[in-house]
Every structure is written in C-alpha cells, then in structure tokens.
Amino acid sequence: MGKVIVVTSGKGGVGKTTSTANLGTALALLGKTVVVVDADVGLRNLDIVMGLESRIVYTSMDVIEKQCELSKALVKDRRVDGLTLLAASQKNNKDDIQPEQMKTICDKLRSEHDFVLIDSPAGIERGFSNASAGADEAIVVTTPDVSAIRDADRIIGLLQHAGIEPINLVLNRFSPELVGNGSMMDQEDVLDILNIDLIGIVPEDTGVITSTNRGIPLVYEDASPGSQAYMRIARRLTGQRIPIPDLEQKGLLTNIVNWFRNR
C-alpha cells in the first residue's frame, strides 16, 4: 500500500507542477514505484514539463468514462524504471469530474504504487477538491512572498478541515542573497506564520527553466542546487532523516553590512 500525496498551493505559478515532476522522478530514481497524476483538467501541464506530451493517448477522463482501463492510461516514462503519468483531459473542465471519481482512481493507484503524487490546479474551488479528494497527505508549495503565503494558509486550513495529514511545506524559489539583504522572508519567518512542518527548501535555480524547456526534469542533473534540493525532499518522503541545510550562506561582508543595516 502506497501513499497518495496532493501537491497544492492556492496561488498559481509557485512551483506545484515543477515540484510534482521532480519529486516523482526523484522517488523513481530512488527505486520507488510512482505515478504522477495531473489533476489540472483543462489546463494540463505536467505532461509537457516532464517531456511526455507526445505520448499521451488516454486521460483520467477516459478512465472515468470507462473508455479505457486505468492501467492502459498510465504513460510509462522510459528514462527511469517505475515512473508513470496519468494525464488530465485538455478538452474538459474541472466540473466534469466528481471528487468521488478522483478518489476511486487514487484508491486503485495507491494499491499498486509506493507513491501517487497529484499535481493540483491553483485555486480553492472544484479543481482543488478533486485533486485532494483521494489524498492521504499533502505537500503545500509556496514562494516566500506575501500573496503566496496568504493563499497557502487558506489551503492549509482546507486540508486540515478535510483531515489530510501530515501537511508538509516546500519553500520554493528561495534566494539566500535576498534573505541576506533583508528583502525576502527566511524559512523561520514563513514557518512562524504557517505553522506546519518544512520538508525542504528549493532555491531559485535557472536550471528549472532550462530543464522545463527541454522536458527533462532537473533531478537528472546531479550538480544543480535545485536538483539536490528535490532529491533531499524525495529522501525525506521515503522516511530518511536528512537535515535541512542552511541555505543562508552569507559571506562575512554581507554579515557586517546587515549588522549595521539592522541596527
């Protein structure tokens, strides 16, 4: 029996799809069986971010409408063993799927995989309730800015209300430099506000953009800081205890400057 984890945020554009693609791939690289599910019906993206867009034949809609078996709708990622994708229908909209139907799909997938990661659409309406309907746990992705954090708090409230637990936070697009000069909130500020557990910090990394251009998840690139951050989060998801490194590696000069600034 595996775990169904919804990757969600409230606000759009904070890195849900990027995180789902990279964590799914990372978990498969660690030897787990994984299916990533695109729950963004009508605005699907996970397929193109993962570079699997040309191979989609069936979607979750076809499974719900009994046009095809669930196992036939799973697209196998040929680059790594144990990773498949269930795409969202692009010609339907969010109201065409019921939360109960998503739950049925999740229940089946859970029994055959170690991890089921669900890429949630933005918002707090139907798309969110569909994406979270079958979830055991949640990963909330936020960037360290006021609107993303406020929306994350709303989503956390809804997840708690639905009894989904644990809820872990991924702090994305973190910039040690901006934190260092006082223009970005650090992880302690964010955790103090949101009051949930942090599972990892992903730095701002141009590698995310180039890897998305190519359709090759960043975790295949060992050296990039974003890749290493996602690999660590994946290990934590498998239960390994790996401390969260302090990304605030300020130089001596920055420290001195900040000391005067903050007086």
Ligand X SMILES: Nc1ncnc2c1ncn2[C@@H]1O[C@H](COP(=O)(O)OP(=O)(O)O)[C@@H](O)[C@H]1O
Question: Can residue 212 be called a binding residue for Mg ion (CB under 5 A)?
Answer: no
CB of 76 to ligand X, least distance (A): 22
SS3 171: strand
Question: Can residue 217 be called a binding residue for ligand X (CB under 6 A)?
Answer: no
Question: Can residue 204 be called a binding residue for other proteins (CB under 8 A)?
Answer: no
How many of the other CB atoms lie within 10 Å of CB of 137? 15
Q: Which of residues 140-159 bind other proteins (CB under 8 A)?
A: 145-146, 149-150, 153-154, 157
Question: Can residue 114 be called a binding residue for ligand X (CB under 6 A)?
Answer: no
Q: Choosing among Mg ion, other proteins, ligand X, none, which partner's interface includes residue 242 (Cβ < 5 to 8 Å by kind)?
A: none
Length of the chain (residues): 263
Separation between Cα atoms, residue 242 and residue 236, nearest integer Å: 6
By CB under 6 A, the count of residues binding ligand X is 17
Question: Can residue 142 be called a binding residue for ligand X (CB under 6 A)?
Answer: no
| Those residues with Cβ within 8 angstroms of residue 195's Cβ, 6 or more apart along the chain or in another chain | none
Piece of the chain touching ligand X by CB under 6 A; list 15-23, 103-111, 156-164, 239-247: 15-23
Separation between Cα atoms, residue 107 and residue 43, nearest integer Å: 24
Q: Choosing among other proteins, ligand X, Mg ion, none, which partner's interface includes residue 261 (Cβ < 5 to 8 Å by kind)?
A: other proteins
Of 8, 17, 59, 212, which lies in the binding site for Mg ion, with binding defined by CB under 5 A? 17
Separation between Cα atoms, residue 110 and residue 93, nearest integer Å: 25
Whole-Å CA distances, 247 to 15, 28, 129, 203, 229 = 19, 26, 34, 8, 10
Asked if 199 contacts 170 with a C-beta cutoff of 8 angstroms, the reply is yes
Asked if 202 contacts 171 with a C-beta cutoff of 8 angstroms, the reply is yes
Piece of the chain touching ligand X by CB under 6 A; list 62-70, 92-100, 102-110, 201-209: 201-209
| Those residues with Cβ within 8 angstroms of residue 203's Cβ, 6 or more apart along the chain or in another chain | 173, 174, 175, 176, 225, 226, 229, 247
Whole-Å CA distances, 6 to 115, 209, 235, 249 = 11, 23, 17, 32
By CB under 8 A, the count of residues binding other proteins is 21
CB of 232 to other proteins, least distance (A): 25
Tokens of 246: 């302090």
Of 189, 238, 242, 249, which lies in the binding site for other proteins, with binding defined by CB under 8 A? 189
Of 209, 238, 240, 256, which lies in the binding site for ligand X, with binding defined by CB under 6 A? 209
Residues that bind ligand X (CB under 6 A): 9, 12-18, 172-173, 202, 204-205, 208-209, 212, 226
Which residues contact other proteins by CB under 8 A?
145-146, 149-150, 153-154, 157, 179, 182-186, 189, 192-193, 257, 260-263
Contacts to Mg ion by CB under 5 A: 16-17, 45
